[in-house]
Structure 1
Amino acid sequence: MMEESGLEQDKNREEQQDQQQTQETVQETVQEKPKAPVIVQVGSKNYEIVQNHKEGWNPEVFRDRYSEVLERYDYIIGDWGYSQLRLKGFYRDNHPKATKDSTISYLVDYINEYCNFGCAYFVLQKCKEQPQAKAKSGS
């Protein structure tokens, strides 16, 4: 009887390893697929949507909430709570004006500490080049 349980345990381990390998392969495949960047033009600046968690991006509401004060930042984070969009700016990590909690590396902490649990959000990154002709307005 002990041999049977040992064999069953080995079989279960092999199945778990196979499942884990399959999941890792699927994740790698998904990450390798290139996405066409979505560029948003706001005022005189272009931004790329680099993250759209739970479909948090809404161009109409973003335009209503946007303020020119946000142009100084390298990233704009929009998070939803109680049907309201809140916008916050973050700098790149090596920006001279940045403090620890105003850099993009603080994003995860910001979402965990200041946003509603499981909320929809998006991250816009300011484009280095500002090609006016190629920008899609509001999409």
Structure 2
Amino acid sequence: MMDDIEVKEGSTEEVQESLQDKPEDQSQDKPEDKPQEKIIVQVGGKNYEIVQNHKEGWNAEVFRDRYSEVLERYDYIIGDWGYSQLRLKGFYRDNHPKATKDSTISSMVDYINEYCNFGCAYFVLQKCKDQPPAKAKSGS
């Protein structure tokens, strides 16, 4: 069904400006919100960087079980926890041609405030610009 998730670590980079906007009750940057090191996740042949890990919301095993190929079209994947269940939602970058106002990453804060449980753990994955080369399919 799906390849295993591969996690790689490296040095920390700045989080995009739109991800720095947080709900008012979380306006202070907390060390646990951002990974200490750059963490790359490879799933479905795509590389993603964990750019925000609020309240240790990232769980590779549960993410692997919940991930769907439908999410590959998005530039960002938000995972939030409610009632011990992980919910995944995709968002586009702000200037993406297919994006609507509610499907852009700049609306992430509104999504967290309106649709997620108050104070829930969540994470944000950003699709890496440098993707691994596609494997050639052999035809018979």
* Residue in structure 2 matched with residue 60 of structure 1 by the alignment: 61
* Residue in structure 1 matched with residue 20 of structure 2 by the alignment: none
* Residue in structure 2 matched with residue 38 of structure 1 by the alignment: 39
**Cα distance in structure 1, aligned partners of 2:84 and 2:42:** 24
**Cα distance in structure 2, aligned partners of 1:43 and 1:80:** 22
Per-residue deviation, 1:36: 2.8
**Cα distance in structure 1, aligned partners of 2:132 and 2:98:** 26
* Residue in structure 1 matched with residue 111 of structure 2 by the alignment: 110
**Cα distance in structure 2, aligned partners of 1:91 and 1:130:** 17
* Residue in structure 2 matched with residue 69 of structure 1 by the alignment: 70
Give the aligned CA root-mean-square deviation in angstroms: 1.9
**Cα distance in structure 2, aligned partners of 1:104 and 1:111:** 11
> Would you say the 8 A contact 2:76–2:92 is kept in 1?
yes
TM-score by length of 2: 0.69
Q: Quick check: 36-45 or 109-118, which moved more? A: 36-45
How big is each residue's C-alpha offset from its partner over 1:99-123, in whole Å with a ceiling of 9 and x where there is no partner?
Answer: 0000000000000000000000000
- Per the alignment, in what secondary structure is the counterpart of residue 38 of structure 1? strand
**Cα distance in structure 1, aligned partners of 2:68 and 2:121:** 20
Structure that is richer in helix per residue: 1
Which stretches of structure 1, 4 residues or more, deviate above 2 A after TM superposition? none
Structure 2 portions without partners, runs of 5+: 1-27, 134-140
Structure index of larger Rg: 1
- Per the alignment, in what secondary structure is the counterpart of residue 116 of structure 1? coil
* Residue in structure 2 matched with residue 81 of structure 1 by the alignment: 82
- Per the alignment, in what secondary structure is the counterpart of residue 105 of structure 1? helix
- Per the alignment, in what secondary structure is the counterpart of residue 110 of structure 1? helix
Structure that is richer in strand per residue: 2
The residue identity in structure 1 corresponding to 2:59 is N
The residue identity in structure 2 corresponding to 1:81 is G
TM-score by length of 1: 0.69
How big is each residue's C-alpha offset from its partner over 1:9-50, in whole Å with a ceiling of 9 and x where there is no partner?
Answer: xxxxxxxxxxxxxxxxxx89x7xxx94310000011000000
- Per the alignment, in what secondary structure is the counterpart of residue 39 of structure 1? strand
**Cα distance in structure 2, aligned partners of 1:83 and 1:118:** 13
- Percent identity reads 88
